[in-house]
Structure 1
Amino acid sequence: MNAVPAHLPRTAGDLRAAGMPPRSIKKELHDNLLAKLRAGEDPWPGIVGFSRTVLPQLERALLAGHDVVLLGERGQGKTRLLRTLAGLLDEWTPVIEGAELGEHPLDPITPESRRRAAELGDDLPVTWRHRDERYTEKLATPDTSVGDLIGDVDPVKVAEGRSLGDPETIHFGLVPRAHRGIVAINELPDLAERIQVALLNVMEERDIQVRGYTLRLPLDVLLVSTANPEDYTNRGRIITPLKDRFGAEIRTHYPLDVDAEIAVVKQEADLVAEVGEPLLEVLARFVRNLRESPVIDQRSGVSARFAVAAAETVGAAALRRSALTGEDPAVARPVDLEAVPAVLRGKLEFEPGEEGRENEHLVHLLRRAVAETARSRFAGLDLLPLADAVEDGHLVTTGERVPGKDVLAALPELPVLHDVAARAGVGPGEPAGRIAAAVELALESLFLSRKLAKDSDDSTTVYGR
């Protein structure tokens, strides 16, 4: 984190003279979002596929000053979207130095801070808090207590001699400590209903009550949360009074097209080897096929993390082959897709009655994705000369121990191979692994269209008659 700039005011008097009055968190978000929109800047860096659906709704909610709940299946980027809200805050904001809550020096809210402000006046010391410190995130778990969120009596402060009725004996929870900031609660329905009740005052009256104390703290927070649709009936629900207090309920969704799915994988995947655009397209189509399949439990959803993990698995398979064969650079080929179903099967929920057939369904949908990608990439291209060459005895062997140069060496020089590589975005002078990846995709396409045969064992695949 950057150091606090030296020119910023260090006392309440300097702050007042500099013309920096208190501003509510919702007003701050409103102003900064509006400034970005007017300047043509992207307020949501790293968010893909929501530009015409979710983001306009969220922007309207923030401009209206509403608390927000994002509702959607797992792996739709809800948490990622909430974390970008911190980018709409001022980079630095003034707070009272030493105060338990992040109070504005010209607007203290706790008894102790008010006493210090009255005693010190314009000499009240000021420090500055970065925007990243003003975003607080809590994963709702069944064991979360009211004390965690709101606060409780601190026995240490009582033992120091303060009376039990003294408001300064309270140890503040997560929400009050986020004063003048954003509080994000993930999986809100997982909170017990009695705990959700504790948030009612925070969201409407903007104050808190702790063990019978009526401590009127004019809290200034934006409360945002996430929930999965099935949570309303399975694990829990958002209680009606709390749901009513959210100004906006916004539905998220999975990427609407293949390009958006590929963009998410490119952005999120940590690839240890090169995975070309055609293979990323295969994985994107595979995930979309899974989301449309009747054998997959669509209430649970197919997370975008599945496609990311699949791409990372394919890259790892290519890196392993590179280590075994000495091929450099390590480039993924269609044969590496075979590792995906077995490794990632556990990330999916299947409908009842499909036990024992999971791998069969995944292999079928993956092959369909390969066929769709090849049809898209090679549309209008005559692949029969390649099929004829293989049928004439130029069998092609590939596998986890076969480098790309061996795949190419098995075939004669054919003009169609240059066309295949070009359609896959590979130039003639590029490494053999990249060209072999394109050729393998064409061979697999011929196999799936029943123009070639394929014989596979544990580590080797042979395309032939």
Structure 2
Amino acid sequence: MSERPLISTAGELKATGHSYKPLRVEIRDNLLARLANGENPWPGIHGFDKTVLPQLERALIAGHDVVLLGERGQGKTRLLRTLPGLLDEWSPAIAGSELNEHPFEPITDASRARVAAEGDDLPVVWRHRSERYAEKLATPDTSVADLIGDVDPMRVAEGRRLGDPETIHFGLIPRSHRGIVAINELPDLAERIQVAMLNVMEERDIQIRGYLLRLPLDVLVVASANPEDYTNRGRIITPLKDRFGAEIRTHYPLELADEIAVIRQEATLVAEVPDSLLEILARFTRALRTSAAVNQRSGVSARFSIAGAETVAAAALHRATVRGEPDAVARVVDLDAAVEVLSGKVEFESGEEDRKGDILTHLLRTAEAETVRVHFRGLDMAPLIEALDGRTTIVTGEQVTALEFLTGLPSLGESGLYDEIAARFDADGDGRRASAIELALEGLYLARKISKDTGDGETIYG
């Protein structure tokens, strides 16, 4: 954040050559400037480059209000929260103005009177772009007063007339004048609240308890909604749908790399989680999104894989703390801990609830096998398979340290297989090396080259 401008009066502001710019023009100009300079206007957004973002950019250039339609966990709210980045970093407002009006463009009677009376001495304050973004989660108890406003009985008690605009306590949308207001889960608003928004979005005036206030509000309204609620159930009134200039469908990441990037960006990891495990979690999540046993109308949120990565990291830190490991690094054995706690994040089709444990385990093993095929293709595992001759076993588990696991590996003679496995992931250090070799063992088990027994927190390959 740059320093707040020092200009403090309307006269000083005029002397700089500053000119008033409507909100949609401001957003359009800043967006086009970034695109012309090759800058990314959407930091932290992955997987929408060729689909959602071009549509959103066209809508903003056209000056349209926007609704994003998509299942849960597709990044709708994250995308909405990047919109303030298209506003000017600092914007002037009349000091003390309830609606943060521009000094050159007052819209209330009180502010017009102040401009006329104080002239160039009118005090000016500066608002950061982050203060010009308001967000509201639509809930059934949201009222017209919350979004639009209501008569303030305290102001009436002070002696003002009921018809006096000064008796109005403004809601979220008028207070977002010269800014962006985002409404999450738009169809959850009661119909009477949706009706109250019609004039705000089209005529830009406000109707409160029979009083009509002609306020030329300069607000960009953006919203998010589930497509099923928005298009099929009739939970949003048709006139309000018509007010939005653009309906944009979001989606889950189409590419595996984008899925992994979202996990890495959003997860708060308390221990190191190798890229191979993040890839398994990403493949696991994508498999759930195509499974016939999973209710795809509800979707499988990106939060599923994010929470999975955080759980895996927590399991690694737990082991390192209990066993005194110097470095906490997650391994394949920690993935099962994630499955146990994530089952509640997935909605299964009717009749499949009793099988959800088996379904999750099967899809996780499938994701592990796909990851193994990609990273160990062309690597001869014969020396390791031959070393497990029926008498030799390898023990790992939730509380088996990386050093204990590595020490228990059978000797492969002059074969450098262990080094080759580690090299596939640039794995240096005991923790990363153990994670890579454990993944190779799991791959051999899934390919039915070796056996695996689990129980009492231990896993034995043989």
Residue 380 (str. 1) matches residue 378 (str. 2): yes
Aligned residues: 459
d(CA) in 2 for partners of 1:304, 1:200: 33
CA gap of 1:49–1:41, structure 2 versus 1, over 3 A, is: same
Alignment of 1:335-374 (within 5 A): 335-374=333-372
d(CA) in 2 for partners of 1:436, 1:211: 69
Shift of 1:105: 0.6
Q: Which residue of 2 aligns with 1:185?
A: 183
d(CA) in 2 for partners of 1:180, 1:458: 62
Secondary structure in 2 aligned to 1:30?
A: helix
Alignment of 1:14-163 (within 5 A): 14-163=12-161
Q: Which residue of 2 aligns with 1:4?
A: 4
Q: Which residue of 1 aligns with 2:426?
A: 425
Alignment RMSD (CA, Å)? 1.3
1:254-281 C-alpha deviation (Å, 9 max, x unpaired): 0101111100001001111110011111
Shift of 1:235: 7.6
d(CA) in 1 for partners of 2:350, 2:231: 19
Secondary structure in 1 aligned to 2:81?
A: helix
d(CA) in 2 for partners of 1:85, 1:248: 15
Amino acid of the structure 2 residue aligned with 1:321: R
Amino acid of the structure 2 residue aligned with 1:181: G
8 Å contact from structure 1 (residues 295, 350) kept in 2: yes
Q: Which residue of 2 aligns with 1:412?
A: 411
Secondary structure in 1 aligned to 2:325?
A: coil
d(CA) in 2 for partners of 1:11, 1:447: 74
d(CA) in 1 for partners of 2:203, 2:210: 16
Secondary structure in 2 aligned to 1:95?
A: strand
> Normalising by structure 1, what TM-score?
0.97
Amino acid of the structure 2 residue aligned with 1:365: L
Amino acid of the structure 1 residue aligned with 2:212: T
Amino acid of the structure 2 residue aligned with 1:318: A
1:133-167 C-alpha deviation (Å, 9 max, x unpaired): 00000000000011110000010110000111111
2:246 pairs with one of 245, 248, 252: 248
d(CA) in 2 for partners of 1:41, 1:457: 53
2:273 pairs with one of 272, 275, 280: 275
Deviates more, 1:236-245 or 1:220-229: 236-245
Shift of 1:233: 7.0
Deviates more, 1:15-24 or 1:31-40: 15-24
5+ unaligned residues in a row in structure 1: which ranges? none
8 Å contact from structure 1 (residues 73, 253) kept in 2: yes
Shift of 1:406: 1.8
d(CA) in 2 for partners of 1:213, 1:458: 71
8 Å contact from structure 1 (residues 89, 131) kept in 2: yes
Q: Structure 1 vs Structure 2: percent identity of aligned residues? A: 66
Shift of 1:234: 8.2
d(CA) in 2 for partners of 1:144, 1:130: 27
2:398 pairs with one of 394, 397, 400: 400
Amino acid of the structure 2 residue aligned with 1:313: T
Secondary structure in 1 aligned to 2:247?
A: strand
8 Å contact from structure 2 (residues 199, 205) kept in 1: yes
Amino acid of the structure 2 residue aligned with 1:423: R
Amino acid of the structure 2 residue aligned with 1:79: T
8 Å contact from structure 1 (residues 190, 235) kept in 2: no
Deviates more, 1:177-186 or 1:106-115: 106-115
Residue 261 (str. 1) matches residue 262 (str. 2): no
d(CA) in 1 for partners of 2:326, 2:289: 36
Deviates more, 1:217-226 or 1:404-413: 404-413
d(CA) in 1 for partners of 2:199, 2:449: 69
Shift of 1:341: 1.5
Q: Which residue of 1 aligns with 2:198?
A: 200
d(CA) in 2 for partners of 1:462, 1:191: 55
CA gap of 1:332–1:177, structure 2 versus 1, over 3 A, is: same
Amino acid of the structure 1 residue aligned with 2:418: L
d(CA) in 1 for partners of 2:135, 2:129: 14
1:342-378 C-alpha deviation (Å, 9 max, x unpaired): 1010011000001221111000000000000001110
d(CA) in 2 for partners of 1:458, 1:345: 21
